[in-house]
Each structure stands twice: as C-alpha cells, then as structure tokens.
Structure 1
Amino acid sequence: MKTSKAIVSLLGGVAVGAALGVLFAPDKGANTRNKIAKKSTDIKNKAKDTLNEVIETVSEKYNSVVSKGESIINKGEQLANEGKEHIKEDIRTVREQMNK
C-alpha cells in the first residue's frame, strides 16, 4: 500500500504543479481555463488508470492468498482423514490382539 500512496501523492503534486504553472503563465483567460480543463482531465484519467492498476494488483494478491488458503485447508483435511483411518486400523489391530 505504500506504493499506491506514493503514486497518489505524486499525481497530486503533478496536478498542483500543472495548475499553478498554467495559472501563472501569461495567456488569455479562456486559454488558461481550457488548459486547466485539459490538464484536469489528463490527471483524472491517469489517476483512474493508477487506481485500476492498484485494484487489479490487490485483487490478484487476494485471489492468490485465498487459493493458497483453500489448498492448505484441503491438504489438512486430507491428512486428518488419513490419520483417522490409521487410528481406526490401529484400534482394530489392538482389539484383534486382545480377543486372541
């Protein structure tokens, strides 16, 4: 999550810097407003792209963790069932020996 915070901070800094650069540049008001609108749209699109990438990465990691967890649970169940069968077999063996 540190990376995503750094990216968001970077994009915020770029947005502020771009807006200030446009505001202080000598140009007509209409041109300045158009530049600000364009930069705002560009920054918004970059932010959306970055957010989508972060969401995709988190989703992939989540799915990986869930998959590994399910695999561990299945292996544990398998081992438990095998152990249960060994115990039943040992109990049968002991009963057979006691009945002799």
Structure 2
Amino acid sequence: MAKNGGNSFLGFVAGAAAGALLGVLFAPDKGKNTRERLTFKLDKYREDLEDLVEDLLEERKVAVTAAKSEGQRVIDDAIKHAEELMGEVDALKERIATPALDEEEEDK
C-alpha cells in the first residue's frame, strides 16, 4: 500500500502541474505574460519538489528496521522521480525563456 501511495502522490503532483501548465498555455494572453506566469508557476512547482525531496531524505534517515526497508525503496524511487521532474521543469523553463518567432511578431 505504501508503494501505491508514493506513486499516487507523485502522479497527483505531476497531474496538478500538467493541469496548471495547460491552463496557462490555453489562456488568452500575450506571449510575454504567459511566459512570465508559466515561469512563476514552474518555479513554485520546483520549490515544492525540492521540499518533497528534503522530506523524503529525512524519512530515509529514520528508516532503521527491516520492515521499513520496503518503505526505503519507495522513498528512493520517489526521490528519483522527483529529481527527474525537477530536470523536466528546468528544461521547460529554458524553452519558455526563448520566445517563438510568431509571438515576437504578435507583440509588435
């Protein structure tokens, strides 16, 4: 159950971020404003992921008994997935920072 709970939580976080991202992308606004809002949301998402990794690392220090070893594996998987998500957030932010040519023409 703990294994499913960890994966479910990460799925929820990823789904919430994807929903926020799509909401911002499809909102009618200028490209510059959309990029700024998206960058802000991605920064917040990255901070939340960093907090999650810190919490998981603290939990890993507490794992002492054999019964917790399975929880340790789940924590390690969650840390790995969170770090992958942070890398994806950074890549998205880089792509957002470079405006597309058609948006530059739109802003003129």
TM-score, L = length of structure 2:
0.53
**Aligned counterparts of 1:5 and 1:59: Cα–Cα separation in 2:** 20
Aligned residue in 2 for 1:29: 31
Instruction: Give the number of the structure with larger relative contact order, counting CA–CA contacts within 8 Å between residues 6 or more apart.
Output: 2
Instruction: List, as ranges, runs of 4+ consecutive aligned residues in structure 1 with deviation greater than 2 Å.
Output: 1-7
Instruction: Tell whether the 8 Å contact from 1:22 to 1:35 is kept in structure 2 after alignment.
Output: yes
Matches within 5 A, 1:20-99: 20-61=22-63, 64-65=64-65
Count, aligned residues: 64
Q: Measure how far apart 1:6 and its partner are.
A: 2.3
Shift of 1:16: 0.5
One-letter code aligned to 2:9? I
- Residues 55 and 4 (structure 1), Cα distance of their counterparts in 2 relative to 1, 3 Å cut: farther
Contact 1:8–1:47, Cα closer than 8 Å, also in 2: no
Select the structure that is richer in helix.
1
- CA shift in 2, pair 1:5/1:51, >3 Å: farther
- Separation in 2 of the partners of 1:10 and 1:52? 18
Question: Which consecutive unaligned segments of at least 5 residues does structure 1 have?
Answer: 67-100
Length-normalised TM-score, structure 1: 0.57
Give the aligned CA root-mean-square deviation in angstroms: 1.7
Q: Which runs of 5+ in 2 are unaligned?
A: 67-108
User: Aligned with 2:65: secondary structure?
Assistant: helix
* d(CA) in 1 for partners of 2:32, 2:23: 15
Between the aligned partners of 2:59 and 2:15, the Cα distance in structure 1 is: 23
